[in-house]
A and B are shown apart, each in its own frame.
Chain A
Amino acid sequence: MTPPAERRLLTPEEYRQAQASPEFAELRARFRRFAFPMTVAFLAWYLLYVLLSTYAPDFMATDVFGNVNVGVLLGLGQFVSTFAITHLYVAHANRRTDPIADEMRERLEAHDYAPGHGGHDRAPDHGVSTRKRSTRD
C-alpha cells in the first residue's frame, strides 16, 4: 500500500519476468492445488446430494431420529461442509499463499523484476540471472 510505487508503471517485460519466476510458479501451484480439487470435491458432493434427492427419495426419507430423516441431515451437512471449506480456504490463503503474494507485490512495486535491475545487464538472456536472484529469499 505504498502510493509512491505507482509513480512508475510496471512494464510488460516485468510482468513476464514475474510470471516466469519460480516463486510465482509456487504461488500459482499452491493456489491451484487447493482451489481446483476443492471445487471438484464440493461440486461432486453437491451433485451427489441433488441426485440422491431426485432419484432416491425413499432413502432420503429414512428417519434417523424422531422426524429427522437422512435428507434433512444431508442437507444440513451441505451447510456444515460449506462453512468448513470456507474456513479451510481462509486458513490456507493466510498461511500458504498470502506470504508469497505479499512479498512478490512488494518486489514488483520496487521494480525488482525489471530487466537490468540491481546492476544486472540489460541483455535479454540475463533475465535468468534476475530470476535466480529472486529465489534466494
Chain B
Amino acid sequence: MTDVLAAESATIGEPALNIAIFGAFVLITLAITFRASRNNKSAADYYAAGRSITGQQNGLAIAGDYLSAASFLGIAGAIAIYGYDGFLYSIGFLVAWLVALLLVAELMRNTARFTMADVLAFRMRQGPVRTAAAISTLAVSLFYLLAQMAGAGGLVALLLGVSGAVAEAVVVVLVGALMIFYVLVGGMRGTTWVQVIKATLLIAGAGVMTIWVLAQYGFNLSALLGGAAEVGTDAVLRPGAQYGLSDTTRLDFISLALALVLGTAGLPHVLMRFYTVPTAKAARTSVVWAIWLIGIFYLFSLVIGYGAGALVGAERIAAAPGAVNSAAPLLAFELGGTVLLGIIAGVAFATILAVVAGLTITASASFAHDVYASVIKKGDVPPNGEVRVARITAVVIGGVAILLGIFALRAGLNIAFLVALAFAVAASANLPTILYTLFWKRFTTQGALWSIYGGLIACVGLILFSPVVSGAETSMFPGVDFAWFPLRNPGLVSIPLSFLLGWLGTVLTKERPNEEKWAELEVRALTGIGAEKAVQH
C-alpha cells in the first residue's frame, strides 16, 4: 500500500505553500490557545470553557466539531464518484440534528455538569452507570479518532509531498502532538476557539469553491448535473450506484441511514459542547446555528462533489493518492491552482486537528470526571485533582490516537465509512439510554446497563464479524474470513436491540425507580432550575 503511494506520489500544488498555510493556522490557534489558558482555573473552565461561550459561537464550534474530514473530503468524494448515493450521507448527517434539537440538547444542558454520564447516572446507581457511560464514550471517541487519523494519512501523501511510511508516520505524530498541546494548555476554551476558527475557514473555503463551480455552469444546477453525468455516467444522478447492487447492499444502506440519523444525538463530543454555554436557551441557539451552518455546508458539498465529478472526473480522482478523499483538493487545484489548493489543504488539516482535539478532551473528561473522580475516588478528590487526571488521560489518549493513526495509514480505511461506524456505536450504546432517562419514569439502573452494554457489545461485535473486518477484498484482514454478519453497518440490528434491552432490563427488575430523582431530573430538565451557571472571572 505504502509503496504504491510512494511510487505514484504525484503531489499536486506546492507542498511548501500548503505547509505555510497550515503553519499559519497552527500559529494563530496556538496564540489563541495560550490566551485562553490564562482563564483556565477550575474544572468548569477546563471541561466546559467556564460555560461562557455564546450560543452563536458554540453553534460554530459544533459545526467545527461535526464537519470532520469525513464530511468535507469524504462526502464530496463520494458524490464525485458515486453521485447521488454520496448525497444520502449528508442528508442523514443533517436530519440527525433534529433529534438533538427537539429531544436532547436543552434537557441535557439543564441537568448535567460536564459529561454525558452526568445525565445517564442522574437517577441511577452512580458507579455502574457512570462506568458504562464512560466506556461507551471512550469506544465512540476511539472509532471517531480512527476515522480522523485515517483521513490525515490520505491527505499527507497528496498535499504535503511526503511519502513513504516513515515520513507519513512523522506527520501523524506531529498532528497528534499538536492536538495534545491544544488540549493540555487550552482546555475546552482553547479547543472551542480552534473549532470556531476552523469552522469559519472551512465554510468560507467551501463557499468560495461552490460559487466558483456554479459560475462555470452559469449558476444553473441542471447544467452542473448534466456536466457531471456527461463526464461520468447517467448513474451519478440516480440513487443506487453504490448501494443498489444487491439486496444486501440495499439493506446495508437502510442500516447506515438509521445509524446516521440516530447517532448524532448520542455522540459524547457533541453532547459535551452543550455544557459550554450559560443557559438552555443558549444551547438551543447553538443547535439552531449548527443546523443552518451544517445544512448550508452540505449544500456546498453537493455542488463541490458534482463539480469534482464534472471538472476533474471520477477516474482521475480514483487514481490520485488518497483516492475518494482527494476529490475536493483536486477540484480546488483545477479551479484556483496552487493557491486555492494550499488554502483548502490547510483547512482540511486544520479540520482533522480540531476534531481530534475535541474528541480527546471529551474522552479525557469522561475518564477523569466519571471513572476517576466519581467511581474510583467516590467524589473525594483534591482540588484540581480531577483536571490533573484529565490532562494525563489526554496525553494517553493522544498517544493511542497516534498509534491508531499509523495503523489506519497502513490499512487505508475509508473515512466517511469509519465515521458512520462511530455513529452506529453512538446510536446503539448511548441514544436509547439518553431518551429513556429523560422521558421514561420507570427506567432503572438495570435497564440502563443492559441497554448501554448490550448496544455497545452488539454493535462492536457485529462489526467484528462483518465484511468490514474480514472476508472481502476491502476488509482490514482480507486474507481470513470469519464474517457471518452480512451488513457492513450494524445499526439496523444493534439500535432496535438496545432499545429493546433497555425496556426488558427495566421490566425484569424488582428495583424501584428513584422517584425523588425522577422529579428532580424532570423539573430541572424542563425549567432549567439548578442548572450550572457561567463561571465569573
* Residues A105 and B101 in contact, CB atoms below 8 Å apart: no
Of the candidates A12, A38, A51, the one whose C-beta lies within 8 Å of that of B254 is A51
Q: Mark A16-52, 1 if CB is under 8 A from B, else 0.
A: 1011000010011001001100110011001101110
Chain B residues whose CB sits within 8 angstroms of the CB of A85 once the complex forms: 98, 102
Instruction: Say if the beta carbon of B10 comes within 8 Å of chain A.
Output: no
| Shortest beta-carbon distance from B92 to chain A in Å | 8
Instruction: Say if the beta carbon of B464 comes within 8 Å of chain A.
Output: no
* Residues A78 and B95 in contact, CB atoms below 8 Å apart: yes
Assembly CA distance A83 to B288 (angstroms):
9
Q: Mark B20-59, 1 if CB is under 8 A from A, else 0.
A: 0000000000000000000000000000000000000000
* Residues A83 and B295 in contact, CB atoms below 8 Å apart: yes
Given A12-B519, A82-B97: A54 touches B299 (CB 8 Å cut-off): no
Chain B residues whose CB sits within 8 angstroms of the CB of A28 once the complex forms: 522, 526
Of the candidates A3, A61, A66, the one whose C-beta lies within 8 Å of that of B533 is A3
| Shortest beta-carbon distance from B323 to chain A in Å | 24
* Residues B237 and A67 in contact, CB atoms below 8 Å apart: yes
Instruction: Say if the beta carbon of A118 comes within 8 Å of chain B.
Output: no
Inter-chain CB contacts under 8 Å: number? 158
Assembly CA distance A47 to B255 (angstroms):
11
Given A39-B102, A61-B237: A67 touches B292 (CB 8 Å cut-off): no
Instruction: Say if the beta carbon of A71 comes within 8 Å of chain B.
Output: yes
Give residues 95-125 of A contacting B (CB, 8 Å): 97-98, 101, 104-105, 108-109
Instruction: Say if the beta carbon of A129 comes within 8 Å of chain B.
Output: no
Assembly CA distance A82 to B238 (angstroms):
22
Given A16-B519, A82-B94, A108-B523: A53 touches B239 (CB 8 Å cut-off): yes
Closest to A58 in B: B238
| Shortest beta-carbon distance from A1 to chain B in Å | 7
Chain A residues whose CB sits within 8 angstroms of the CB of B92 once the complex forms: 46, 50
| Shortest beta-carbon distance from B439 to chain A in Å | 8
* Residues A24 and B102 in contact, CB atoms below 8 Å apart: no
Q: Mark A51-76, 1 if CB is under 8 A from B, else 0.
A: 10111011011000111110110010
Residue of A1, A47, A78, A97 ringed by the most chain B CB atoms within 10 A = A78
Assembly CA distance A101 to B279 (angstroms):
12
* Residues B533 and A1 in contact, CB atoms below 8 Å apart: yes
Majority secondary structure, B binding face = helix
Assembly CA distance A42 to B101 (angstroms):
12
| Shortest beta-carbon distance from B429 to chain A in Å | 20
* Residues A27 and B527 in contact, CB atoms below 8 Å apart: yes
Instruction: Say if the beta carbon of B231 comes within 8 Å of chain A.
Output: no
* Residues B257 and A50 in contact, CB atoms below 8 Å apart: yes
Given A39-B99, A39-B103, A53-B88: A60 touches B526 (CB 8 Å cut-off): no
Assembly CA distance A49 to B288 (angstroms):
23
Chain B residues whose CB sits within 8 angstroms of the CB of A43 once the complex forms: 261
* Residues B516 and A69 in contact, CB atoms below 8 Å apart: no
Counting contact residues on chain A (CB < 8 A from B), the size range is 35 or more
Assembly CA distance A93 to B279 (angstroms):
14
Chain B residues whose CB sits within 8 angstroms of the CB of A46 once the complex forms: 91-92, 95, 257, 261
Closest to B250 in A: A54
Chain A residues whose CB sits within 8 angstroms of the CB of B523 once the complex forms: 15, 18-19, 24, 104, 108
> Which stretch (B145-153, B202-210, B220-228, B388-396) binds chain A?
B220-228
Assembly CA distance A105 to B281 (angstroms):
13
Of the candidates A16, A51, A65, A78, the one whose C-beta lies within 8 Å of that of B516 is A16
* Residues B95 and A82 in contact, CB atoms below 8 Å apart: yes
Assembly CA distance A27 to B528 (angstroms):
12
* Residues B103 and A54 in contact, CB atoms below 8 Å apart: no
Chain A residues whose CB sits within 8 angstroms of the CB of B237 once the complex forms: 61, 67, 69, 71-72
Of the candidates A15, A49, A50, the one whose C-beta lies within 8 Å of that of B519 is A15
* Residues B250 and A55 in contact, CB atoms below 8 Å apart: yes
* Residues B243 and A54 in contact, CB atoms below 8 Å apart: yes
Instruction: Say if the beta carbon of B291 comes within 8 Å of chain A.
Output: yes
Chain A residues whose CB sits within 8 angstroms of the CB of B281 once the complex forms: 98
Instruction: Say if the beta carbon of B84 comes within 8 Å of chain A.
Output: yes
* Residues B222 and A54 in contact, CB atoms below 8 Å apart: no
Assembly CA distance A79 to B303 (angstroms):
14
Of the candidates B239, B254, B287, B288, the one whose C-beta lies within 8 Å of that of A57 is B239
Chain A residues whose CB sits within 8 angstroms of the CB of B109 once the complex forms: none
* Residues B529 and A50 in contact, CB atoms below 8 Å apart: no
| Shortest beta-carbon distance from B432 to chain A in Å | 14
Given A67-B237, A71-B239: A12 touches B226 (CB 8 Å cut-off): no
* Residues B527 and A108 in contact, CB atoms below 8 Å apart: yes
List, sorted by A's number, 26 A–B pairs whose CB atoms are closer than 8 Å: A3-B533, A15-B519, A15-B523, A24-B526, A27-B526, A34-B102, A35-B102, A42-B95, A43-B261, A46-B91, A53-B240, A54-B243, A54-B244, A54-B254, A58-B238, A67-B226, A69-B237, A71-B237, A78-B94, A79-B94, A82-B94, A83-B295, A86-B97, A86-B292, A89-B102, A90-B288
Sort A-B residue pairs by CB-CB distance and give the 4 closest, nearest first: A66-B222, A61-B238, A67-B225, A53-B239
Given contacts A3-B533, A27-B527, 19 further A-B contacts (CB under 8 A): A12-B516, A39-B99, A46-B91, A54-B243, A54-B254, A57-B240, A60-B238, A66-B220, A66-B226, A67-B225, A71-B238, A72-B87, A72-B221, A75-B87, A83-B292, A86-B101, A105-B528, A108-B527, A109-B529
Give residues in B with beta carbon < 8 Å to A.
Answer: 84, 87-88, 91-92, 94-95, 97-99, 101-103, 220-223, 225-226, 229, 237-240, 243-244, 250, 253-254, 257, 261, 279, 281, 284, 287-288, 291-292, 295, 298-299, 515-516, 519-520, 522-524, 526-530, 533
Give residues in A with beta carbon < 8 Å to B.
Answer: 1, 3, 6, 10, 12, 15-16, 18-19, 24, 27-28, 31, 34-35, 38-39, 42-43, 46-47, 49-51, 53-55, 57-58, 60-61, 65-69, 71-72, 75, 78-79, 82-83, 85-86, 89-90, 93, 97-98, 101, 104-105, 108-109
